[in-house]
Structures are given as structure tokens and as C-alpha cells.
Amino acid sequence: MDLKTLCEINAPAGNEGEIRKAIVERAKEFCDDVKIDRMGNVICHKKGTNPDAPHVAIAAHMDEVGFIIRGYTEDGMLRFSSIGGIDPRVIVSKWVLVNGETKGVIGAKAIHLQSKADREKLLDYDSLYIDIGAKDKAEAEKLAPLASYVSFISSYEEIGDGFILAKALDDRVGCYNMLRLLEGSYPCDVSFAFTVQEEVGLRGSMGAAFGIDADIAIILEGTACNDLGDVKERFHVCTPGEGVAVSFMDLSTIADKELFHAMLSIASENNIKAQVKRSVTGGNDAAAFQRAKEGCRTVVLSVPCRYIHSPSSMCKKSDVDAQYELSSAFLKQYK
């Protein structure tokens, strides 16, 4: 299944039905053991050939950031909140889809009507609204009932020097590579977890990690870059085109030292481009795996993505491939 299809599916955290269906369908082509657990995670298991090899879990989250309808104005505008962390500055003058069918726009007071204070003041979720063209509150309520899920309208494009431009690269890149990995066979037992609700607090992966009970967990993610414009070099997180980013630590976990070094050596032995993530920002499903049951050793492999959590995130195709190659080489090492 291509990355375009995966990115264009709408699945804000808590509403992963459509992406789950697509992934289950595809996974069944390459794996006999595909299950949906009680949280809604998709778990696929492939038995290894070497009984002495560890049980490895590999995980990517299916959900993405989005919005949810929480009220109306008298004249038919929709009040909403974000699901996951979306800086409200990136949504002004953008397009959204409500309940997968009703189009809307997020407008703002015209520049001609703004006071000096308006120009400076941040437009937050209390002041922004979605306009679907409804005549009044009743029409708005009918077409966009409370708790309707909302996604960015955003198409997949390829631009510049091998860049992909799409929404939800965080973490459809991980899902895409896990589906590719599912096509292979490995000496070790591998459990593939496509998780839910990562963007609202790593909630799906807790159940997944508990159920899988792996020895080692590898998390495939998309992570921020902050490598352009006004950002001083010492704050750059990682660089697109320099390969898959291996984390030594982030806000939720410290990588297992041995796995961290193993990833870097396997990359160099196999001529796979890899870089160390140079910042400790962000958190991900590794935290849930690390703390499940007696605990498990974890490491995170990320595709550097610019402008994550926006309708226009960007990553380099070669880095997506590097994430696949490194995780594949890692799984194949247990001969």
C-alpha cells in the first residue's frame, strides 16, 4: 500500500476506523495472524525460525492529529478543539473536512478590520471557528453534530528534491514501512503493532505492549526537524536527507544503549544512511512498551519530518526508505 493512500486516509486519534480497515486488509495478504485487540490496535504476528532469537515488537501509530466539534455560534459556525497538539497558528485560512464529508474553512477577521491588538494577538481555539457555509445554528448542528471528528483537507504531493508533502506523515511513514516489513520473513518472532491514540497520550500502545509482551521494541516514528530558517544550528533536531534518525533519549524514554549502538553499527555495516536525533524533544509509543509488564528494551527510529502536526508536513523519500532498510536489517540479524 503506497504512502499517498495511507496519508490521505483521515483518522484523528479515537477515530481510527478507516485506517485500521485499510491496514488489516493489506496485512492479511502477508500474515496469517492478524488481530484487532480490545483497544483497537492492529497486532500481526510472524513466527521466527530461530527459537533462540528474542521476540521483537515493532510499532507505529495509525492515528493522526485533528479536531473535534464542541459547539456552535448562533450564526452557524462550528466551535472546535484540537485532538493532539496542533499549534493554532498553522490552521488559520486552511481547509478541513467534518465527519469525512462536509467541507469547511477556518477563516479569520480580514486584515482591513483588525486593530493593532488583533494583529498581535494569537488566534486560539477559543476564538477560531469552522465555516461550512451553514445558514444558522440548526443547519450546523444537523451536518456537524457534537463530537464530530475533523481532519485537514490536504493532498499528497511530491516536490523539490525527492520530498513528500502531505498531512499525517507522523506516523503514516511508520505504518507504511511496517506494511513493507510484513512482506518479509525473519529469524526472530516479530509482532507488528499498529497502534491507536498515540497523539492523545500513548493510550493504544499501553494495551498493545501488554498484550505482545516483547523482549525488544522498535518504534517507527516521524519526528520534527527544525532545521531551517530562524532556528540556530544547535537547536536543529535532525536533517532531511541524512537518513533515519536514531534517538538516544526523548521526553518519554531513554533508548536502550545496546540497541542504540546496534542500530548505528548495523546502519554503517549495511550502508544505510542514519543520523542521531540531536534533541530530546517529543515522546512516543516507546514509553508504553518500555513500561509494560516487567519492562522491555526500546529504541526509536524516526523519519525526519518538517512541519509535523500541520496540513503540510514534509519528509524525504530516501529517509523513509532508510527507516525501512535499517529496521529490516535489524530484524534479519538473528540468523
Residues with catalytic annotation? 198
Nearer to other proteins, 62 or 314 (CB): 314
Least spacing, CB of residue 112 vs other proteins, in Å? 6
Least spacing, CB of residue 5 vs other proteins, in Å? 20
| SS3 at position 116 | helix
Phi, psi of 147 (to 5 degrees): 70, 10
Phi, psi of 125 (to 5 degrees): -65, -15
Nearer to other proteins, 121 or 257 (CB): 121
Least spacing, CB of residue 89 vs other proteins, in Å? 5
Give me the amino acid identity at 187. P
Nearer to other proteins, 49 or 251 (CB): 251
Residues 38, 203 contacting (CB under 8 angstroms): no
The conformation of residue 247, written as its DSSP 8-state character, comes to P
Least spacing, CB of residue 87 vs other proteins, in Å? 5
Which residues, other chains included, contact 258 with Cβ-Cβ below 8 Å and sequence gap of 6+?
A: 297
Contact set with other proteins (CB under 8 A): 73, 75, 77, 87, 89-95, 102-114, 119-123, 127, 129, 131-135, 139, 143, 153, 157, 159-163, 165, 224, 226-231, 235, 240, 281, 306-307, 310-312, 314, 316
The cell numbers describing 169, all together, are 506523515
Where does 168-243 have alpha helices with state H? Answer: 169-182, 203-212
Least spacing, CB of residue 1 vs other proteins, in Å? 24
Residues 31, 181 contacting (CB under 8 angstroms): no
Nearer to other proteins, 135 or 335 (CB): 135
Q: At what angle do helices 17-27 and 169-182 cross, to 10 degrees?
A: 20
Residue 265 CB: number of other CB atoms within 10 A? Answer: 10
Nearer to other proteins, 38 or 142 (CB): 142
- Residue 223 bridge partners (DSSP): 304
Q: How far is it, in rounded angstroms, from Cα 310 to Cα 123?
A: 16
